[in-house]
Structure 1
Amino acid sequence: MKRLKSLVLLATTVATLGLVTGCSGNGNSESGSTKVETKIVSSVKGDVEIPTNPKRIVDISGSSEELAILGHVPVATANVDSYETDKVPSYVSDKLGKSKVVGHSMMDTMDIEAILAAEPDLIIMAPRQEKIYDQLKDIAPVVMLEDQSNDWEAKLKDVAKLFGQEEEAQKWLDAYYAKAEKIGAEIKEANGDKTYLTVLASSGQFMVFTEGGIGTVLKQDMKLPQPVNMPKQDSITLPTVTMEGLTEIDADHIIVIGTESDKADLEASTVWPQIRAVKEGNVTILDASPYFSQAYNPIGRELLLQNIKDEVVK
């Protein structure tokens, strides 16, 4: 009996040691490899070796919506609300709400300790954060994407290229543009050929979305006409006009994005009620959060289509 017990104990010990050895084996084990598959991708900093199928992505470049569309929800993000920078925008909280906020994607530095704690196997960053590049390289492979902050479509394609998902990204884009044109046609059918002006109210002045943000959703995607007197936009910076400048632009419908303070300024103004679109009741006022930055990102942009129709078709 004692000999039988000894044999059982010995067998158990051997089995346990075998299990431990199997779990800690290197990638050359015949029973299964734990070696992570990698590939080489191009970046602003040159070629980088990254995991073929990363599981824990930290994105500080502002590309988290693009990642989510392609099925790569980051564990940490810097895609934040422009007015509530400690949280992701409300319209995308269902997709990014569990991602740890580690900074603001338009800033040049991040919470390095929080990034380290996220245990990433891939970090995606932008050139504006170059001063922390070497620190991040010590944590995980880093891909620095080109700055496409004013070209949302190019940004989606750049992210898709990292994962070999160009066709998937193009399919999403095709569906988006078809939906945008359809809703734009519905707006024109309901309202006629009205012109539309989109502005950000700011301390009594207005930043005009001539060639950026929500303005391009209406002009380029939905094919809605702009007024002929639009101020020119030569860079990413939005042109600014006064209240009187709005009168000169003379849009049929004005969409204003503003904070509660900005809205109060409009109500107190004696010039605002004299603008033709205001007189005729063709004004839409949207909250600064989240609408200001929403059109610069793909999920937000798609959601805007129906939102705009609901607001301008009465």
Structure 2
Amino acid sequence: MKKYMMVVLSIAVLMFGLVGCSSNKANNESGKTEDTNNAGTNAGGSEEGTADVSKETRTVTDVKGTVEIPVNPQKIVDISGASDILSLLGYDVIGTANSDAYDYTKFPTYLDDVLGDSKILGYSMLAEMDVEAIIALEPDLIVISTVQEKMYDQLSKVAPVVMIELKQMDWKEDFMNVATIFGEEDKATAWIEDYLAKAEEVGKRLKETYGEETSYLSFLASGGSLFIFDSAGLGTIFYDDMGLAKPEGMPEQENVSLPVVTYEGLAQINSDYIFAIATDEDLATLKESSIWNGTEAVKEGNVIELPASPYFNQGYSPIGRLAFVEEVEGLLASTNE
């Protein structure tokens, strides 16, 4: 389990290999339109004068090729990890794999209100899940990622399957990839722009309160290792979305995996404020370290301690990002209490 969590915690999100596109999906032999954006209605919509909209289909293009899906799917099962994105696009899911990375039986707290009525089927980074549990939900549409590619043929016998690719390096790209498949680019663009405006405003207030050049670091202590959030997760909320200063001495993130540092390497990152995200065990070990206790941020009382669940996942979810932006001012204020 520990070895597996190390893979998870290094954000080897699609470490099973990105699956090449193929075109062995259902072809449009019936003459239905292949225009994803103009065919049928979008999420939650209806067409006047249509006797049964739920039986109408439209053709969409995903990483496998083309597939016919319901115009207005009512019973979506998503095991790709995109349930939060689908909800923002106006779709409800009855089954999901957007569970907590540390406890697959529950949702991260920031998704409780959004997905609380959905059945948890596993964790989105797992290659296989319980097919019988999916069948029992009687879905009219199934969404998987390239991680679950080996389940494609089996699930295609249950309901139409849409396969998406989530790269986890650019959340906006992943958001728009899902939106494009479902013809909901306008909704996605509007949400992203609104979120970025809020994040920028919070960033401006933090600069006014703590200084223009004040730097911020976030890292995960888990499984005995220290993972630095730089070009993914919470790091991109600080540096890209809120425009805050990155500290000197940061290791460079070259791919989807988070950089791993030693305690000495962590001490070399000169940050004014530190968000230490950790399991209880790793936090206890951290606090026993003389190296950690000797860092300037610790001595100044400028450390915010946060639990690994849910904060590890949070920066990879659009809803999670918004929740963090909305609470970060309060978290920083707590260091002065």
TM interval, short-chain normalised: 0.7 to 0.9
Query: Could you list the runs of 5+ residues in structure 1 that have no partner in the other structure?
Result: 1-29
Residues 204-252 of structure 1: per-residue CA shift (max 9 Å, x gap): 5411111110000000000000112110111111111111112211111
**Does residue 127 of the first structure (1) align with residue 159 of the second (2)?**
no
1:226 to 234, 242, 246: 246
- State how many pairs are aligned: 285
Q: 1:235 to 1:262 in 2, by over 3 A?
A: same
**Does residue 42 of the first structure (1) align with residue 61 of the second (2)?**
yes
Q: 1:215 to 1:296 in 2, by over 3 A?
A: same
Aligned to 1:96: 115
Paired with 1:275 and 1:205, the residues of 2 have a C-alpha distance of: 18
Q: Residue 221 of structure 2: SS of its match in structure 1?
A: strand
Paired with 1:262 and 1:127, the residues of 2 have a C-alpha distance of: 32
Paired with 1:240 and 1:150, the residues of 2 have a C-alpha distance of: 17
Per residue, is there more helix in 1 or in 2?
Answer: 1
Aligned to 1:269: 289
Residues 85-118 of structure 1: per-residue CA shift (max 9 Å, x gap): 1122122111101101111100100110110011
1:150 to 148, 161, 169: 169
TM-score norm. by structure 1 comes to 0.87
Paired with 2:203 and 2:151, the residues of 1 have a C-alpha distance of: 43
- Alpha-carbon contact 2:95-2:118 (below 8 Å) kept: yes
- Alpha-carbon contact 2:54-2:72 (below 8 Å) kept: no
- Alpha-carbon contact 1:204-1:242 (below 8 Å) kept: no
TM-score norm. by structure 2 comes to 0.81
Query: RMSD between aligned alpha carbons?
Result: 1.6
Aligned to 1:293: 313
Aligned to 1:164: 183
**Does residue 188 of the first structure (1) align with residue 204 of the second (2)?**
no
Residues 269-302 of structure 1: per-residue CA shift (max 9 Å, x gap): 2222111111111111111010000110111110
- CA apart distance, 1:306: 2.1
Aligned to 1:83: 102
- Read off the aligned partner of 2:173 and give its amino acid letter: A
Residues 184-213 of structure 1: per-residue CA shift (max 9 Å, x gap): 111111111211111101355411111110
Paired with 1:81 and 1:219, the residues of 2 have a C-alpha distance of: 25
Aligned to 1:3: none
- Alpha-carbon contact 2:84-2:318 (below 8 Å) kept: yes
Q: Residue 75 of structure 1: SS of its match in structure 2?
A: strand
Q: Which entry has the higher C-alpha Rg, 1 or 2?
A: 1
- Alpha-carbon contact 1:52-1:163 (below 8 Å) kept: no
- Read off the aligned partner of 1:150 and give its amino acid letter: M
Sequence identity percentage = 47
Paired with 1:251 and 1:89, the residues of 2 have a C-alpha distance of: 28
Q: 1:203 to 1:51 in 2, by over 3 A?
A: closer
- Alpha-carbon contact 2:207-2:214 (below 8 Å) kept: yes
